[in-house]
């Protein structure tokens, strides 16, 4: 006969033994008492039962409600479910539930754009929308270095081979999806994948265009919350990049494609743990990036400098190193706090600089937006490092101070559309007022950007907050790793 793990609530209150019979205690049945069962039971600490020290609570009924009202005048609730109490994990498809987030993504009205000539039907209009809207939206610097416009479009239109067609169709899929036409987007995506597959059968096809097509399919997967294959496309891009010849690596487009891939790859390592090669017998090495005027330049498609991106990548490896068997690590790496302190010093002292290449196609340039976005990434990188570092290496009050600094930066922006630093900030917001602000920023960015991963990130943030609240009364501080909230075998979210 199945037995409960603990006494029923009725026997506990009576302070008598319980036989723990399921579904009801036999002792209660014999004494004709109502058995309160064995489930979760809410307890109020101020209940006058003579067993607890009474506490005095102070409240401000007149002002307390105002602290929990959004700018729209609505109350905000964080609802904990039975699944949260059980430690239930979620699949990425659950976090991408559109029904729970209809307010975030609404199909826009097709803007008035001039169709690009030479393309059939709506192809020209969609590519024109990409050129005039999307390619300028996904970078903070829309100057002559904007390869989303000045490299990818000529590459897609400059050849009739299968790799160029794949890039074109992937771009059209992205554009039509962002315009709220998912059926058309799906058709374009299928064409892109077919053309990409066809290109692998041809010896003379452009590997650079294949690389770009894989990256564009990766971006499409991030935009479409129902498509969880972004990591697969990124791995395909990596395989192609590794196979590029010396001649192809000297292509002018590689100057744009390399940092684009590095950006996605770094935040892929944030989602998925970095793994050493199976053949790697030596210690798991982490090298810090160079620091010079070039590495400190802010790159528009990154939102920050390449030096900062590389420091985030080093922090990813530091996190992965902590889960490796000790035989992968040298003695100094298993005990020395030098590396986290070195990364922290570099992040604290990093000064990112703006460098522009102006020309006839340059769009609107906001120095303030560029600087604020780069600074937001730097603060988020410090918060991430503190999450990864041992508690003894985190300065007292460092995290609350950085959270205040991050909100001060975001408050100066018209809208913040950088998912990764927003996620880092939200996960470190412990006060209710800060959480409300973080959620408002996420929802505003989601409405403005209309990218599917905002749906996932919003739900994941709420799951982290619920787990934090459920462990708030633990005797020791518990670091919540959001990855532990994702079900085994599930795809992981993208934060680009």
Banded model confidence at residue 1, pLDDT cuts 50, 70, 90: low
Which residue did the predictor score with more confidence, 401 or 391?
401
pLDDT confidence of residue 463:
95
Domain with CATH 4.10.240.10 in the chain: 1-42
Mean pLDDT of 147-156: 97
pLDDT, tens only, 413-466: 999 989 999 999 999 999 999 999 999 999 999 888 889 899 899 999 999 999
Banded model confidence at residue 112, pLDDT cuts 50, 70, 90: low
pLDDT confidence of residue 43:
64
Distance CA 481, CA 275 (A): 18
pLDDT confidence of residue 77:
80
Mean pLDDT of 82-87: 88
pLDDT, tens only, 171-212: 999 999 999 999 999 999 999 999 999 999 988 889 999 999
How far is CA 370 from each of CA 85, 134, 353, 449, 450, rounded to the nearest angstrom? 42, 17, 9, 17, 21
What's this model's pTM, rounded to 2 decimal places?
0.84
pLDDT, tens only, 274-311: 765 544 434 457 889 999 999 999 999 999 999 999 99
Q: Which of 83-97, 116-130, 347-361, 464-478 has the highest mean pLDDT?
A: 347-361
Which residue did the predictor score with more confidence, 113 or 367?
367
Which residue did the predictor score with more confidence, 126 or 119?
126
Backbone dihedral region for residue 87 (phi beyond 0: left; psi -120 to 50: alpha; all else: beta): left
Which residue did the predictor score with more confidence, 74 or 170?
170
pLDDT, tens only, 30-68: 999 999 998 877 766 555 555 555 555 555 655 556 666
- Residues constituting the chain: 496
> Domain 1-42 belongs to what topology?
CD2-Gal4 (4.10.240)
Using omega within 30 degrees of 0 as the cis cutoff, is the peptide bond preceding 23 cis?
yes
Is residue 102 predicted with pLDDT exceeding 50?
A: no
Question: What is the chain's mean pLDDT, rounded?
Answer: 87
Mean pLDDT of 403-413: 98
pLDDT confidence of residue 379:
99
């Amino acid at each position: 006969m199945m037995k409960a793990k603990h006494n029923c609530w009725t026997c506990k209150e009576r302070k008598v033994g319980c036989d723990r019979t399921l579904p009801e205690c036999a002792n209660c049945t014999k004494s004709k008492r109502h058995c309160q069962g064995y489930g979760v039971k809410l307890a109020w600490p101020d209940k006058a039962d003579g067993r607890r020290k009474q506490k005095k609570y102070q409240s401000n009924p007149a002002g307390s409600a105002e602290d929990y009202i959004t700018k729209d005048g609505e109350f905000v609730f964080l609802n904990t479910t039975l699944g949260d109490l059980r430690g239930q994990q979620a699949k990425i498809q659950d976090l991408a539930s559109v029904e729970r987030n209809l307010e975030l993504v609404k199909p826009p009205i097709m803007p008035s754009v001039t169709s690009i000539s030479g393309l059939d039907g709506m192809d020209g209009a969609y590519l024109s929308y990409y050129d005039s809207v999307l390619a300028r939206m996904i970078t903070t610097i829309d100057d002559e270095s904007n390869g989303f416009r000045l490299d990818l479009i000529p590459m897609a239109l400059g050849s009739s081979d299968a790799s160029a067609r794949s890039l074109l169709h992937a771009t059209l899929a992205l554009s039509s999806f962002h315009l709220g036409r998912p059926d058309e987007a799906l058709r374009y995506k299928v064409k892109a994948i077919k053309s990409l597959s066809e290109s692998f059968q041809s010896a003379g096809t452009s590997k650079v265009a294949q690389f770009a097509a894989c990256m564009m399919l990766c971006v499409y997967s991030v935009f479409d919350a129902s498509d969880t294959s972004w990591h697969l496309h990124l791995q395909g891009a990596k395989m192609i990049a590794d196979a590029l010849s010396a001649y192809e690596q000297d292509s002018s487009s590689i100057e744009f494609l390399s940092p684009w891939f590095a950006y996605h790859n770094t935040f892929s390592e944030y989602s998925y743990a970095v793994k050493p090669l199976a053949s790697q017998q030596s210690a798991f090495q982490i090298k810090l990036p160079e620091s010079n005027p070039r590495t400190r330049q802010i790159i528009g498609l990154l939102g920050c400098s390449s030096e900062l991106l590389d420091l985030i990548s080093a922090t990813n490896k530091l996190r992965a190193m902590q889960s490796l068997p000790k035989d992968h690590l040298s003695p100094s790496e298993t005990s020395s706090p030098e590396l986290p302190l070195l990364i922290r010093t570099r992040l604290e002292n990093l000064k990112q600089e703006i460098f522009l290449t102006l020309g006839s196609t340059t769009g609107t340039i906001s120095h303030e937006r560029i600087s604020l976005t780069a600074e937001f990434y730097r603060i988020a990188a410090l918060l991430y490092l503190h999450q990864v570092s041992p508690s003894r290496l985190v300065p007292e009050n460092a995290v609350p101070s950085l959270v205040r600094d991050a909100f001060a930066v975001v408050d100066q922006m018209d809208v913040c559309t950088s998912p990764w630093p927003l996620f880092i900030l939200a996960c470190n917001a412990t006060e209710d007022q800060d959480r409300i602000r973080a959620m408002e920023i996420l929802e505003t960015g989601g409405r403005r950007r209309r990218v599917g991963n905002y749906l996932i990130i919003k739900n994941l943030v709420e799951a982290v907050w619920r787990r934090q609240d459920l462990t708030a009364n633990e005797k020791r501080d518990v670091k919540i790793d959001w990855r532990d909230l994702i079900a085994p075998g599930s795809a992981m979210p993208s934060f680009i």
